[in-house]
Chains A and B, each alone.
Chain A
Amino acid sequence: MADVPSILPLRLTDVTYQARGQTLIDGISGDLEAKGRSVILGPNGAGKSLLLRLCHGLLQPTAGRIEWAVGNNERVRQRQAMVFQDPVLLRRSTAGNIRYPLHLHGTPRREQQARVDEALARAGLSAVADRPARVLSGGEQQRLAIARAWVARPEVLFLDEPTSNLDPAATRAIEELVLAVDQTGAKIIMTTHDLGQARRLANEILFLHRGRLLERTPVTEFFAAPRTAEAAAFLKGDLLC
C-alpha cells in the first residue's frame, strides 16, 4: 500500500446541495486532510448526514466540486467506507457480513478468513461470528457495521451518528472501536450532535448550522472559545433551530 498515493486530501469547493427549492448545504469549502479525526457537529437538521453522503459520493452536489486527491473514479469508492446511522445488515451470519466487502473487492479467498477473523476479534464479535447478523443487539449490530466497513482497510471511514440509538455501555464500546480504527491509520470523519462524544473523539470540529460551515477549529479551542455566537449557544445547550 505504501507506494500507492493516498486518496486524501478530499477537497470541497463551494459545495452546495439543493432539494425542492431549499438550500440544504450552502457553499462549503475546505480540505479534509489525511491526519486526525474530524467530527462534524451541529444540531439536528444542520445537514451533517447530507454532507457525509456528499463526501462519500452517494449524492452529487448541485453546485461546487468534491474531489479526491487521485481524482474521482470507481476505485476511489473501494478505498473509503461508511457506517450508516441505521446500518443495513445483510441476511447472513455476522462473519458473512464482514466477508462480503472482501468478496466484492475480489480479495483472494485464502486471505479472506484471516482478515474476517481479525475484524471479528477487533470488534469483539468472535463469539457471535456464526450468529445471523440481524438478531444481534443494537450495539453489536453497530460494531458489526464498523467491522464490515473497516475490513477492507479503507483510507477514509465515514460514520453517521454511530451511537445515536445506543445506551452508554454500547456507546463506549463503539467509541473505543472508532479509536482503534483510527490507530490503524484510517481517516475518521464522523457526525454527531452529542457534545461529549465530540469532545472525546474529535481532533478537529467542523461546526455545521443550517447547511453552512460556521467554524472549523481544533477541538480544545472549539470547546474553550467558540468563534461564532451559534456555536457558543450550542455549547451552552441552547436550542438552535
Chain B
Amino acid sequence: MTDLTAAFALALDMLLRFDPDLLEIVGLSLQVSLSAVGLAALIGLPLGAAVALFRFPGRLAINALLTAFMGLPPVVVGLIVYLLLSRAGPLGILGLLFTPAAMILAQCLLITPIIAALSAQTVADLHEEYDEQLRSLAAGPGQTLVTLLWDGRFRLLTAILAGFGRAVAEVGAVMIVGGNINHATRVMTTAIALETSKGNLALALALGIILIALALGVNLAAMAIRDAARVRYG
C-alpha cells in the first residue's frame, strides 16, 4: 500500500517538475507508437476493407491469418524483426537494429492484423447498408472501397485505437529490437521493466500510472470525437 501511495506521489512529482528524462521517455513512446499506428493504418485499413469487399483467391486464408495474428506474441514479432535487421539478416545492411525505426517496424507488424481484422468487420457492416445504393450509382470496386472507408471513418477510429493501445503497452518487441538504450530507445514499457528489475518499484509504478493515464487520455479523446461525429453525421 505504501508503495502505491509513494508511486502516485512520485508520478505527480515527476509530471509537475517536467522531469526531462521522463519527458524524453514519454515522447519516444508516443513517437514510436503513433508512427507505428499511422503506418499500420495505411496498410491495415485498405487490407481489411479489401478482405471484406472482394472475393479473391486466398481471401479466406488471409482472413483467418489476420484474425489469428490479432494475438501475436510481441516477443515473437520482436524476434522476427531482430532476425531481419541483425547484421547477418536480409535487411541488416540498413543498420536499423536498436533504433526507433526498428521499434516502429516491430509494432507496426504487431498491430496491422488488429487494425485490418477490426476494420474488415466495420466495412462489412457498412457495405451491407450501402451495397445496393453504390451499385445503383455505378461505383467501381475501388470507388466502393474508398467510399466505405471514408464513410466509416469515425467507426474505424475504434480499430485504430485498439492498435494504438496494443502498441503503446507492449514491451517484448521494443525490448528486443530497441534494446532499451538510455536516451536512444528507452520507452515507457522498457523503462518500467528495467526499474522493476532494479527494485525501484515506486518509480516503475509511477511510470505505469503515467502510461495508463496516457492511454486513457488518447482513448477518451477519440471516443469524444466519435460520439460527436455520430450525433452530427448519424
Residues of A near B233 (CB, < 8 A) are: 91-92, 132, 134
A88 near B130: Cβ-Cβ < 8 Å: yes
Does B1 sit at the interface, judged by CB under 8 A?
A: no
For window 114-136 of chain B, which residues contact chain A by CB distance below 8 Å? Answer: 129-130, 132-133, 135-136
Known: A135-B232, A135-B234. A78 touches B138 (CB 8 A): yes
Nearest CB of A to B10, in Å? 46
A82 interface hit (Cβ, 8 Å): yes
List the A side residues contacting B132 at CB < 8 Å: 58, 84, 88
Other-chain residue from A77, A78, A88, A92 in contact with B133 (beta carbon distance below 8 A): A88
Please tell me if the beta carbons of B234 and A104 are within 8 angstroms of each other in the complex. Answer: no
Determine if B137 and A104 form an interchain contact, defined as CB atoms under 8 angstroms apart: yes
Residues on B with C-beta less than 8 A from A110 are none
Task: Verify B138–A82 contact, CB threshold 8 A.
Answer: no
Are B147's CB and A90's CB within 8 A? yes
Is the Cβ of A90 less than 8 Å from the Cβ of B151?
A: yes
In angstroms, how far is the closest chain A Cβ from the Cβ of B230?
10
CA distance A198 to B115 in the complex (A): 51
Determine if B232 and A82 form an interchain contact, defined as CB atoms under 8 angstroms apart: no
Please provide the chain B residues from 134 to 189 with a CB less than 8 Å away from any CB of chain A in the complex.
135-140, 143, 147, 151
- Interface: A66 (CB within 8 A): no
Distance between Cα atoms of A91 and B143 in the complex (Å): 15
A74 to B130: give the CA distance in the assembly, Å: 19
- The contact of B232 among A56, A78, A132, by CB within 8 Å, is A132
Cβ of A100 < 8 Å from any Cβ of B? yes
A81 lies within 8 A of chain B by Cβ: yes
Q: Which residues of B contact A87 (CB under 8 A)?
A: 133
- Let me know if A105 is at the binding interface, CB within 8 A: yes
Bound together, the chains give a CA A91 to CA B132 distance in angstroms of 16
A138 within 8 A of B: no
Looking at B129, B130, B138, the one whose CB has the most chain A CB atoms below 10 A away is B138
Give the residue of A84, A91, A105 whose beta carbon is less than 8 angstroms from that of B234: A91
In the complex, are the beta carbons of A104 and B139 less than 8 A apart?
yes
B137: which A residues are within 8 A, CB to CB?
81, 100-101, 104
A135 to B151, CA, bound (A): 15
CB-defined contacts of A82 to chain B, threshold 8 Å: 136
Q: Which residues of the other chain, B, contact A74 by a CB distance below 8 angstroms?
A: 138
- State in angstroms the CA–CA spacing of A56 and B232 once bound together: 33
Partner of B136, one of A81, A91, A132, A134: A81
Smallest distance from the beta carbon of A90 to chain B beta carbons, Å? 6
Q: Are B130 and A104 in contact (CB under 8 A)?
A: no
Min C-beta distance of A192 to chain B, whole Å: 19
- Chain A residue at smallest Cβ distance from B133: A88
Query: For the complex, what is the distance from the CA of A78 to the CA of B135, rounded to whole Å?
Result: 10
Given A91-B151, A91-B233, A135-B232, check contact A104 B136 (CB 8 Å): no
A74-B138, A104-B137, A104-B143 given; A88·B129 CB < 8 A: yes
Whole-angstrom CA separation of A104 from B232 in the bound complex: 25
List B contacts of A84 (CB < 8 A).
132-133, 136
Residues 63-81 (chain A) with a chain B CB within 8 angstroms: 74, 77-78, 81
On chain B, the residues within 8 Å of A101 by CB distance are 137
Residues of A within 8 A of B139 (CB): 104
Residues of B within 8 A of A (CB): 129-130, 132-133, 135-140, 143, 147, 151, 232-234
- What are 20 A-B contacts defined by CB distance under 8 Å? A56-B136, A58-B135, A58-B136, A78-B138, A81-B136, A82-B136, A84-B133, A88-B132, A91-B151, A92-B151, A92-B233, A100-B147, A104-B138, A104-B139, A104-B140, A104-B143, A132-B232, A132-B233, A132-B234, A135-B234
7 tightest A-B contacts by CB?
Answer: A134-B234, A88-B133, A77-B138, A91-B233, A91-B151, A82-B136, A78-B138
